[in-house]
Amino acid sequence: MSVSKKTQDLPAEFTLPNRYPTNRSGPERWLFSHFLRYWPIGILLLLGAFGNAALAAYVPIKIGEAFDAILNDPPKTNLLLGFFWAVVISQLIRGGLQFVRNFGAEWLGQLFERNVRDELYVSLLGKSMTFHNLQLVGETMARATNDVREINFMLNPGINLVIGSGNFLILPMLVSWRYHPSLVIIPAIFVLVYIISIKQYLGELQPITKAVRDSFGTMNTRLAEAIDGIETVKSMSEEENEVKRFQINAGVFRNAFVRQADVEARFLPLLFMGITQAAGLLHSLILFKQGLIQVGDVVAYFGLLQLFGFPTFVSLFAYSQVSLGMASTRRILELINEESDLDQNESGFAEDIKGSVEFKNISFAYDKNENVLNKINFSVEPGQTVAIVGQTGGGKTSLVKLVNRIYDVSAGQVLVDGIDVRDWQLESLRHQVSIIEQDIFLFSRSIAENICFGQPTATREEIIEAAKAAQADEFILEFKDGYDTVIGERGVTLSGGQRQRLALARAFLTDPRILVLDDSTSAIDSATEDKIQRAIYAAAKGRTTLIITHRLSQIRWADLIVVLRQGKVAAVGTHEELLKTSEAYRQIFSE
């Protein structure tokens, strides 16, 4: 898989105009290219983090000075009120800086989540059907929802705490030298050991967090499949087995989390911090005994060592969150970088279609597998009605989906009006070619919105006219809310015949120049079939119509019949001609 660096460089069926470029050559570079748009927020975050740590270090310094003032002979108690107000004011400022840091990190996290989700969604819309046929829906949803959310959490609290805690590591080394140069040694050793431990910790954590995200995707995929196929599950009384399968996947997800917790439990910096504080206290007391520093210096120095507690404790959580976020980033970028084999070809041919279609020595295979279609040759004149018939699995549906480039040919050419479909502007081509499939997809919206899906500016009168042409108006008006009735996802609240009539109405409204009916009347009862046939016959006038059907009543009135057998054209002709000359055609009606 090759990787394009810029958003606009990736071929796609669909892209949004004026999108800012992102570097997709690696997860770190991709995130950084998103960050570049908001670098002022990043500067704000850094300044807030450094100011917060500096003022945190200011407190033990002042407490040390207060100890020296009290132990002075005579005591300088007049200075204590000044120390008090210095601490109070500094901590009020620190609280403000901490707010700025946290607000900036939260703001940045929300911006990242929005933009990454947007980029992923646009990328998915731009993928070919070959990609979507091979991609598991549940896995895609896991990446588009949970993984994108993990990127937000990686920034806040993850990276926010990493940046904040990093400054708490630096300050003790910067300040310790003022009491005695040798006091820098122990904090420096701790920081060195801390960095080495974190590197080892992340290296051990990375494959585990990847397993966590992958197992979540698998669990989500199985759940989505069970819900999507709930009718099949219930009709076959497989609920108990589905629960067991889900429990197995949930167990894998849980075990990955347990492995992550095991690594976190062995987080060595917690042990090193205790050793560092004890060693630092011992070192400062030795210097005090030697008369090299004062009591207040010991107190202040030990207070500075206490600052290591914040980065040590939060790192246990923060770096785990960063590791999870990076695992999610890789999963999302992997999905985005899956190349589409289709291009919207914005500068392509975009005239009105007259209706001629020619399949010129075409072959087609899904994902470079064995060919589904082999060396198909036939042509259709404008306005002709062509019936495509053959046994199940013969490649009929694959063939018609080459016309509007739902799929692209593996070899040969599909010509519309004498122009290769790959040279057409994709949007113009698809607006003028309408396919009605056997498996109708309806959205969980009103009936009117479903009918005008391909023509959103249509008036209510135009919607009703299309519904009448598809013999759908009568049953629509039987619903309480008529055309405003909201139907369930995939139209599950409707019968098969009702769904197909709505799909016909949707196609009629777009007024396509090429109409493809993929066994689209199979679920219509006999009482309605005659009306639908007349509607289709009327709709076919003046436009090229390709019909995949097994109904003899539809085949008879076709101008041309193409017989497919095992991915090849077995015969072409009229009904009467094929009955006389084609054994494959006669077998279709004898089976």
The DSSP letter of residue 517 is: E
Residue 290 has pLDDT above 90, yes or no: yes
Among the ranges given (186-190, 397-401, 420-424, 537-541), the one the predictor scored with the smallest mean pLDDT: 537-541
β 560-565/385-390 pair status = parallel
Distance linking the first and last C-alpha atoms of the chain: 45
pTM for the structure as a whole: 0.73
Is residue 13 very low, low, confident or very high in pLDDT (cuts 50, 70, 90)?
low
**Band of the pLDDT at 19, cuts 50, 70, 90?**
low
Looking at residue 115, what is its pLDDT?
92
Q: Are 16 and 122 in contact (CB under 8 A)?
A: yes
Could you give the percent of the chain with pLDDT greater than 70? Answer: 92
What is the chain's mean pLDDT, rounded?
86
Res 210 pLDDT > 50: yes
Q: Three-state SS across 225-280?
A: HHHHCHHHHHHCCCHHHHHHHHHHHHHHHHHHHHHHHHHHHCCCHHHHHHHHHHHH
Sorted by where each begins, the domain ranges of the chain are 23-337, 357-590
Tell me the sheet residues that pair with 563.
389, 571
- Tell me what pLDDT residue 7 has: 41
d(CA 394, CA 362): 15
- Dump pLDDT digits (tens) for 472-504: 898 999 988 999 998 876 566 787 778 888 888
Q: Using one digit for the tens of pLDDT, what is the confidence trace for 128-153?
A: 777 777 777 888 888 888 899 999 99
Structure tokens at 308: 């290591």
Q: Topology of 23-337 in CATH?
A: ABC transporter transmembrane region fold (1.20.1560)
Please state, in angstroms and rounded to a whole number, the distance separating the CA atoms of residues 195 and 416: 64
Q: What is the DSSP letter of 481?
A: T
d(CA 581, CA 591): 18
Please say if the pLDDT value at position 4 is more than 50. no
Strands in 27-132 per DSSP E? none
| pLDDT (tens digit per residue) in 42-64 | 999 999 999 999 999 999 999 99
Domain spanning 357-590: which CATH class is it, in words?
alpha beta
Q: Are 151 and 332 in contact (CB under 8 A)?
A: yes
Does the N-terminal peptide bond of residue 74 adopt cis geometry, omega within 30 degrees of 0? yes
Convert 110-121 to b/e letters by CB count within 10 Å (16 or more is b). Answer: ebbbebbbebbe
236 vs 290, which has greater pLDDT?
290
Q: What is the pLDDT of residue 447?
A: 93
State residue 3's pLDDT score: 36
